[in-house]
Every structure is written in structure tokens, then in C-alpha cells.
Structure 1
Amino acid sequence: MNTTVIHQVLAETQAGKLVFPEVVRRLSEVGVESYLCDLATGAETFYMSDGTTHAEKTTLPLSPIAEQFSASGIVAAIRGAQSDTIRYPEFMKRSAAAGIIAYWAFLTGKKVIYFGRKGESHVEEFRRPTN
């Protein structure tokens, strides 16, 4: 497990320097299969292909998580990130405002599942690159 690369990717992401496809590429290269981000605690857990895990805490300030889940709110935040109109720090604020308490990015499964406070969810498949 290369925790140095994981830490670097997390730091650069939180600084707004990386876009999601680059995060996926770099984490996949060091054997990360998936990662779980808890917006309530700031904990991020990385699940490796060899069955081990690695946890880190976010350096971003935690935003209040809205009580009501907003599917349209999380979709708008996702589209903003995909179009590179917003970067990760703003994405996290908008996710919390949409009632997202956690998300699980499945790199090998090519999808992210976003969870609301009452068990609601939104599944977002990875977009295919356009040529």
C-alpha cells in the first residue's frame, strides 16, 4: 500500500488542484479499489485490492449537512465538477447542502453512490471520456 501517494492525492484534491478522472487514475495505480468519504466526520477510508485499508481525515472545514436529501442538488454539484466549473472544496459544500452525509467511490466498479441522512441514495456512473 502506498500511503504517500494516497496522502498526496487527498491533499491535492482538497486544495482544488485535481479533477476526478486524475484522482481515479492515480489512486487506481496504487491499488485503491474504492474509498468512502464521510462528510459528517471528515474521515476518508481507502480500500485496497489486497484487502487492507487506510484512513485519513480531511483538512477541509466540515459543512453542515442539510436534513433534506436533494437529488437535483447532488446532480448539479456532480455536473459542476464534471465540467470543471467547481473543484472539490466547493463540491463538498454543495454536497452537504444537498443532504449528502457520505459517498462511496467504487473505482473498479466505475460508480459513486451518494447517501442521504435517511438512507436516500443517488448512483452516478463514471462518464466515458469524450474524444
Structure 2
Amino acid sequence: MHASVTAIIHDCHEATEQDRMAFPQILAALNAAGIEGYSVDFRRSTKAYYQPDGDSLELSFQAVGVPVAAVFDAAAVQAAIREAQAGVAGYTYRGFCEKVMAAGCAGYIVSMLGRRVVYFGRTAETHVELFPQ
């Protein structure tokens, strides 16, 4: 992976953790760098970023500290997404993670190509969220 792409990934990764960039800004920066998608694994506290040629970069993040609930509650996951999209007062990425994990979300996959995010639970139940138009 080219050093300039790695630097953009690291910047976006840190910006997410520090609430410096919103999700659409992160997507735009990663897409411009040639990243076609990424995955978040809450149980391992990792994010993996993927290029079309199969190259990838995995980064760790600080564990959220909330266990992934056994039951996947798609409505609660969707409610957390709507709060993020609306930019409600006090929104943080960490708070978003806490809410979706408490709703049984074990991770999610972001596809720039498919213009969607697939949230999944421990039993592989899913909620698919299309990128806003």
C-alpha cells in the first residue's frame, strides 16, 4: 500500500476516534485515496481498510468497553444511525459504537462500491443502510 494512502487511512481513523470528521467526509477522503471499503470488528477492536487490488491495512482502536448484546435489535441500530445522520447534540462516534453494540451489533462493513453499510450481529443477522442520496 502506498505511503500516501496509508497516511490518509491513519488520518481518517484518528479523525473518527476524535470526532474531527463526519462519516460523509471520511467516506470522501477514503474513496479519493482508492479505498473501496472497510470493516469494523467491535469484538476485536479493529478496522480493516481495503483496496481494489486486495491490499489492506488493519488498525486497532481503543476497546469500547460495552459487550456486544446477544440479541440483534435492528430498530435500535437504525435509531443510532439516524441520530448520527441528524448530528444530534452531543453525538460522538464512541457513543454511537456503545449504542449499536448494546443493540447487538458485532461490527459493520462499509462498501463504497455498493454505497451501503451492512451492520451485523453475533448470529449474522443484518441491517443494511444505504448511503444517503
Q: CA deviation at 1:60?
A: 4.8
Q: CA deviation at 1:15?
A: 1.0
Residue 50 of structure 1 pairs with residue 53 of structure 2: yes
Query: Counterpart in 2 of 1:40?
Result: 43
- The range that moved more, 103-112 or 55-64, is 55-64
TM-score (norm 1): 0.93
Q: CA deviation at 1:116?
A: 0.6
Query: Counterpart in 2 of 1:99?
Result: 104
Distance 2:64 2:130 in 1: 27
Query: Counterpart in 2 of 1:73?
Result: 76
Structure 1 unmatched ranges of 5 or more: none
Contact 2:42 2:63 in 1 (8 A): no
SS at match of 2:97: helix
Percent identical: 33
What count of residue pairs does the alignment treat as equivalent?
128
Distance 1:74 1:9 in 2: 23
Distance 2:62 2:14 in 1: 8
Cα RMSD for the two superposed structures: 1.1
Distance 2:104 2:80 in 1: 12
Residue 119 of structure 1 pairs with residue 124 of structure 2: yes
Structure 2 unmatched ranges of 5 or more: none
Contact 1:106 1:112 in 2 (8 A): yes
Q: CA deviation at 1:108?
A: 1.8
